[in-house]
Amino acid sequence: MSSLAGKTGLIVGVANKRSIAWAIAQAASAAGARVALTFQGERLEENVRDLAEGLTDPLVMPLDVTDDGQIARVFEEIDRGFGGLDFVVHGAAYATREDLSNPFTQTTREGFKMALDISAYSLIALSRGALPLMERKGGGSILTLTYLGSERVFQNYNVMGVAKAALESTVRYLAADLGPKKIRVNAISAGPIKTLASSGVSGFSSILQIYRDRAPLRRTVDTAEVAEAAVFLLSDAGRGVTAEVLMVDGGYHATGM
């Protein structure tokens, strides 16, 4: 497996042990990285602190990505704790339950703004915060998580599909902006996995079944498979890759009929 020895990273999006970001935190730590985990709100603090106990010398701090003050404090704390930053994993996404079950035409202005703010704009805000710390290390790697619903219609994915389209475009613009500073920006497009976030999508189990029936590998993926691909992109093994959306979905994206 690719090495992250001596590197430090910020991982946003751990809610519980099923979170994709948690699998990435474990894999990054196993590959030698020291990581900072964030939790969104007091509700998730205990979960994240418990999980972090299994890592080597982690930082743990609160972060709601809609709050610029909290974003600034996270990078101040990382600066004090790590003295620089090599990678960021962005695994935050949110849309209301109504917007993930109602007909798409019923998407509210408020719901649209919130989904795009939390799920797409936050990548820009985190990249901006990470920039001075990564410059100090001579470069870095930023990674986000997306889904094929950005390009194709999946029932009830709705406004989250629009947010993922914005997120993938954001990856390309950030990659162009930050590439001259040796900072790479990529996304992994994961196949469907049962998590807190995906359980908000009405009828999610039927999406899972379609992957079992039709993906070339006749299955979906698990969080460990996504995490190993993530470590590759975060590490020097991925040094030539930027502005990419890497499909880790059992090949489902290639299927027509």
Ligand X SMILES: NC(=O)c1ccc[n+]([C@@H]2O[C@H](COP(=O)([O-])OP(=O)(O)OC[C@H]3O[C@@H](n4cnc5c(N)ncnc54)[C@H](O)[C@@H]3O)[C@@H](O)[C@H]2O)c1
Report the interface residues with ligand X, using CB under 6 A.
13-15, 19-21, 40, 44, 63-66, 91-94, 118, 145-147, 190, 192-193, 195-198
Closest CB to ligand X among residues 96, 139: 96
Q: How far is the CB of 201 from ligand X (least distance, A)?
A: 8
Q: What angle do CA 169, 150, 24 make, to 5 degrees?
A: 80
256 Cβ partners below 8 Å, 6+ apart?
A: none
Q: Catalytic residue at 94?
A: no
Phi first, then psi: what are they for 148, rounded to 5°?
A: -60, -15
Q: How far is the CB of 195 from ligand X (least distance, A)?
A: 3
Task: Tell me the two tokens of residue 109.
Answer: 């202005």
Rounded to an integer, what distance in angstroms lies between the CA atom of residue 186 and that of residue 188? 7
Closest CB to ligand X among residues 15, 245: 15
Rounded to an integer, what distance in angstroms lies between the CA atom of residue 34 and that of residue 59? 9
Buried/exposed 20-44: b ≥16 CB within 10 Å, e otherwise: bbbbbbbbbbebbbbbbbbbbeeeb
Closest CB to ligand X among residues 70, 102: 70
Closest CB to ligand X among residues 41, 180: 41
**Residues 94, 121, 147, 252: which is the catalytic one?**
147
Q: Catalytic residue at 157?
A: yes
Q: How far is the CB of 94 from ligand X (least distance, A)?
A: 4
**Residues 94, 157, 211, 252: which is the catalytic one?**
157
| Count of beta carbons in the 10 Å neighbourhood of residue 257 | 3
Q: How far is the CB of 14 from ligand X (least distance, A)?
A: 6
CA-based nearest residue to 125, from 86, 76, 174: 174
* Active-site amino acid positions: 147, 157
